[in-house]
Amino acid sequence: MIKIILCLIFIILLPNLVFTQTEIDILYTSNTNGALENCRCPNKALGSLEKRKYFIDEWYNNKPNTLFLDSGDFLSAKKNEFKDSIAFKIYEMLPYDAIGIGDQEFYNGINFITNLIDNSTLPFISLNISIPKFKNVNDYIILNKKNINFGIISIIDPDIFKFYPKRIRNNVEVFDFNVKLDDQIKFLKNKVDIIILLSHIGIEKDRDLAKKNNQIDIIIGGHSQSFLEKPEKINNTIVVHSGKDGYNVGHLKIKLNKKNKIHKFNGELIPMTLDMKSDSTVLEMIKNYHTLNQKKDIKLKND
Is residue 291 situated within a structural domain? Answer: no
Res 20: pLDDT: 66
pLDDT bin (cut points 50, 70, 90) of residue 42 is: confident
CB 252 within 8 A of CB 16: no
Encode 121-132: b = buried (16+ Cβ within 10 Å), e = exposed: ebbbbbbbbeeb
Mean pLDDT across the stretch 15-29?
A: 78
Average pLDDT in the 12-37 region?
81
Give the residue, 44 or 168, on which the prediction is more confident. 168
pLDDT score for 18? 44
pLDDT for the residue 293: 87
pLDDT in tens, 144-185: 999 999 999 999 999 999 999 999 999 999 999 999 999 999
* Whole-prediction pTM: 0.92
pLDDT, averaged across the chain: 93
What CATH number should be reported for the domain holding residue 112? 3.60.21.10
Residue 11 forms part of a structural domain: no
Tens digit of each residue's pLDDT (9 = 90 or more) over 109-154: 999 999 999 999 999 999 999 999 999 999 999 999 999 999 999 9
pLDDT of residue 3: 62
In total, how many domains does the chain have?
Answer: 1
- Cα distances (Å, whole numbers) of residue 16 to 5, 12, 199, 255, 259: 18, 8, 35, 14, 12
The angle at the Cα of 76, spanning 74 to 81, to the nearest 5 degrees, equals 105
The answer to whether 260 and 22 are in contact (CB under 8 A) is yes
Name the percent of the chain lying above pLDDT 90.
87
Q: How far apart are CA 184 and CA 191, in angstroms?
A: 11
Apex 204 CA angle, 78 and 194, nearest 5: 100
Structural domain that includes position 274 = 19-278
Query: Average pLDDT in the 37-42 region?
Result: 85
Rounded Cα–Cα distance for residues 116 and 103 (Å): 15
pLDDT average, residue stretch 49-54: 98
Contact indicator for 246, 29 with CB cutoff of 8 Å: yes
User: Over 50: is that where the pLDDT of 17 sits?
Assistant: no
| Nearest-angstrom CA–CA distance, 39 and 78 | 14
Classify residue 290: in a domain, yes or no: no
